[in-house]
Amino acid sequence: MWASLFLLLFAHTGKCLADFAFISNLDRDVEIQSCVARVIEQTFGLSRRFTYIYNDYIEYLPSAIANPIIVINARKPWSHHYNFYEAMYVIEAFDSGTLRETMKALKESTLWHPHSTREGKFVILTNEKDLASIFRAVWKFSILHVVLVVFEDGTNGKVVTSDPKTQENGCGLTPKLFDYQDCDANLAIKFLSPMRNYNQCPVFIDFHNPYDHRLKYIKPLLPVIEDVLNTTSIRVREPPSKPEMMAVGE
């Protein structure tokens, strides 16, 4: 009799535990989806089109999202039909190794545009604990508008941003100084203003169009602009003179 009572109790407790685990996983999924949706809304706006890049298995794409999305598996050959250069990306990368591979594939794809991709906005969804390696993987391409959402075991997401143009971050080479936010209703993502203190780091100015006449007026003003922006040097990335000579440089 004790044995059967014990068995009954055991079976009952086991079932409750299973239910509990199931419910808390579901809750976490809902939390994660609403976190990702919130970050997407603040980064791109409610209805702007963005590209969602994943690696074989989509983990974090919210099911209820109004934006038009292009979904690409980074591990499959990238289609050549996607090149309209809407430079807004969400990238799922479990760790920094995956992110480096994905960035390389993006760079080699028809989606990559030598100027507008650099000025684009990137949301990186990752489980990587070494945040410096994540920022380095993206800053390497002169991409400055980066929002990380980090899902460590059991958490619903931390939002991390950083300014590469600081001495603490080695002007982008050694990321160290990060801003953390909880991914809740108080989330406020601020993007870096182009008119800011560059803390004695070099900066680039991109010119997209070979017929942009501002180029010849800006050049003599560079020393003044350098002073205002507190930068050591401004390097002007000039446009290719002919479209077919468009260089894909970093």
Neighbouring CB atoms inside 10 A of 138's CB total 25
Task: Please state, in angstroms and rounded to a whole number, the distance separating the CA atoms of residues 34 and 199.
Answer: 36
Min dist. Cβ of residue 199 to ligand NAG (A): 3
Of the listed pieces 25-33, 92-100, 196-204, 211-219, which binds ligand NAG according to CB under 6 A? Answer: 196-204
Helix or strand run (H / E) with residue 44: helix 2-44
Strands 158-161 and 145-150: antiparallel
Task: Please state, in angstroms and rounded to a whole number, the distance separating the CA atoms of residues 58 and 53.
Answer: 9
Min dist. Cβ of residue 236 to ligand NAG (A): 21
Strand partners, 150: 126, 158
Min dist. Cβ of residue 171 to ligand NAG (A): 10
Tokens of 246: 């468009």
Q: Of 97 and 170, which has the nearer Cβ to ligand NAG? A: 170
Of the listed pieces 42-50, 179-187, 193-201, 215-223, which binds ligand NAG according to CB under 6 A? Answer: 193-201
Q: Which of 200, 215, 225, 226 binds ligand NAG (CB under 6 A)?
A: 200
Min dist. Cβ of residue 179 to ligand NAG (A): 17
Site for ligand NAG contains 142 (CB under 6 A):
no
Tokens of 228: 């205002």
3-state secondary structure 132-159: HHHHHHHHCCCCCEEEEEECCCCCCCEE
Site for ligand NAG contains 197 (CB under 6 A):
yes
Chain positions 146 to 175 lying near ligand NAG, rule: CB under 6 A, are 167
Q: Of 51 and 231, which has the nearer Cβ to ligand NAG? A: 231
Of the listed pieces 20-28, 87-95, 107-115, 195-203, which binds ligand NAG according to CB under 6 A? Answer: 195-203
DSSP letter assigned to residue 105: H
Q: Of 42 and 199, which has the nearer Cβ to ligand NAG? A: 199
- Kindly determine how many residues on this chain lie close enough to bind ligand NAG according to the rule CB under 6 A: 5
Task: Please state, in angstroms and rounded to a whole number, the distance separating the CA atoms of residues 129 and 133.
Answer: 9
Helix or strand run (H / E) with residue 228: helix 222-229
Q: Of 7 and 177, which has the nearer Cβ to ligand NAG? A: 177
Q: Of 127 and 200, which has the nearer Cβ to ligand NAG? A: 200
Site for ligand NAG contains 199 (CB under 6 A):
yes
At position 7, the amino acid (one-letter code) is L
Residue found by looking up tokens 């989806």 in the block: 33
Task: Please state, in angstroms and rounded to a whole number, the distance separating the CA atoms of residues 123 and 32.
Answer: 14
Min dist. Cβ of residue 181 to ligand NAG (A): 24
Residues forming contacts to ligand NAG in the complex (CB under 6 A) are 167, 197, 199-200, 230
